[in-house]
Amino acid sequence: MISTIRWHATGGRKMEKMIPLNEILSSCLVFACLVSWHLGTVQASDKNMTTAAPPNTIATEKELVEKLMSSYGDTSVRPVRNHSQPVVVFFRMLLYELIKLDETRQIVNIRTNMRLQWVDEYLQWDPEENGGIYNLTLKMHQVWRPDIFLDEDVDRDFISLPEAETFVIVQHTGAMDWLFPAVTTSACKMNIEYYPFDSQLCVLTFYPWTLDESKMRLFAKNDEDAFQARYVKNGIWSLVSFTATNRSIKYLCCPYPNDHIEYRLTFLRESGFFLTNVVVPAIFLTALMLVGFWLHPDSGEKVTFTVTNLLALTLFQQLVADKMPPIGEPRSILVTCFFMLIILSGCAVFLSVLVLRLYHHDTNTRPPRWVIKLIMPWFSRSGARGYIRKIYIIEKESKVTTNEEVLTNGNTATTILTTTDVKKDEVRRLAFDSESKDVNQFVWRQVALAFDSLCGTVLCCAMLGNFMFALISFLK
């Protein structure tokens, strides 16, 4: 398709030119595309300008942490803008488990959960301007933290913080919440007077090492969180009481006093194991000591039995002593009773040997008269008692004289013996000597048995007194 254009120039000359229509349409289409692309670019740029965030707004926690840490400064400086104001710290300790109570070393090892709360004025932000972030979690070495120290600590040298890496929860208001588990080993003064029916009081004192009341105030929490029942019984000790007390103590080195938190832990021993394995066997051994005096001297095992009983009591006393600290006061009632029982058992061995010595005494002599009078009530049989009394009465009242003539002349005396029948006299004398030895043997054996009964009675009274002493002491 061809279009014709005509025009007239000066001079009246007429000219004519032909232009294709498809070229005109192509040019218009290209122009329209360029205009449309330009308009789209301008609209997109306007839209991005209207929806973009302000240049100072933070959208992620990492950016917020970088912003806060960049202006935080030294972590050893107290986080208060007014240096004359103290930092108020609240402390809470939950007892989870008693790991070990070493009575010999007087050390208590416990597993706890600690919690410290305070306000850090340099870690505050507006959540609306920081992407709606209300709290953060920071490592403990990134922020200031209280230098809390355990006064009775014996495990580490001047280290109050946990060795493991822990974290602090930070609120947008600056409230800091530091929770961490801790295993503490501290000194605990033992009172073994009523062992094994005793209770032990352990005191744990927490206080700031370098900050007095003008720099930091330390208080124990007194809410539901501080009185959670989390203690796990361990079969040996049960927790009786767990209290916290705020105290203020002034030292000579410092112009201001320091706040202290004193935790008092009272543990009661479960005495069932020691009752069945220590106390009851000791009572049976004591009874066996008395049984030893019932053994007849002719049995041949009297001394062996008492010596074995003495060794058994000594072994039990050593087992009990090994579990106790080597302290002088207060003295354990149980150890005192064992000591007395060992003394009585030693006396039983000595008295048993003495009884055997009397039982097998030489028959050429008789016991002295005062010995018979002393132990006369302890003879086992009334017939033997009457027979022995008759023997000593006859010996006192009668005098044996055979074919004896006494001649007295002035200050001199001469005794002349005459014998009618030598053989008959010797037979009579031998018979008399044999009968006398049998009588002496009978008397010595009865004396030995009576003395054995007397010793058994005396030791029985001593043991009953020992048990009464223990019972009254434990019931105080």
Q: What residue segments make up the domains of the chain, in order of their start?
A: 62-270, 275-474
Region of residue 393 (phi > 0: left; psi between -120 and 50: alpha; otherwise: beta)? alpha
Q: What is the model's pLDDT at position 8?
A: 41
The pLDDT tens digits of the residues spanning 153-196 come to: 887 654 444 456 789 999 999 999 999 888 889 999 888 888 88
Q: Is the pLDDT of residue 6 over 50?
A: no
Q: What is the model's pLDDT at position 417?
A: 40
Closest by CA to 384, choosing from 447, 293, 436, is 447
* Cβ atoms 91, 148 nearer than 8 A: yes
Q: What percent of the chain has pLDDT over 70?
A: 73
Q: 37 - beta bridge partners?
A: none
Alpha-carbon gap, residue 407 to 31, rounded angstroms: 188
* More confident site: 8 or 54: 54
* Cβ atoms 275, 334 nearer than 8 A: no
Fold of 62-270: Acetylcholine Binding Protein; Chain: A, (2.70.170)
Q: Please compute the mean of the pLDDT values over residues 40-59 and round it to a whole number.
A: 51
Please, what is the average pLDDT of the chain? 77
Q: What is the model's pLDDT at position 429?
A: 47
Q: What is the DSSP letter of 163?
A: S
Tokens, residue 476: 């105080």
Alpha-carbon gap, residue 196 to 466, rounded angstroms: 17
Q: Is the pLDDT of residue 412 over 70?
A: no
Tokens, residue 230: 């989390």
Give the 3-state secondary structure of residue 117. Answer: strand
* More confident site: 177 or 313: 177
Rounded to 10°, the helix 280-291/302-322 angle is 160
In angstroms, the Cα distances linking 452 to 66, 283, 328, 355, 390 are 94, 22, 37, 6, 23
Q: Is the pLDDT of residue 40 over 70?
A: no
* More confident site: 106 or 331: 106
Region of residue 408 (phi > 0: left; psi between -120 and 50: alpha; otherwise: beta)? beta
The pLDDT tens digits of the residues spanning 413-471 come to: 444 444 444 444 444 444 444 567 777 788 888 888 888 888 888 888 988 888 888 88
The pLDDT tens digits of the residues spanning 261-274 come to: 999 999 999 888 88
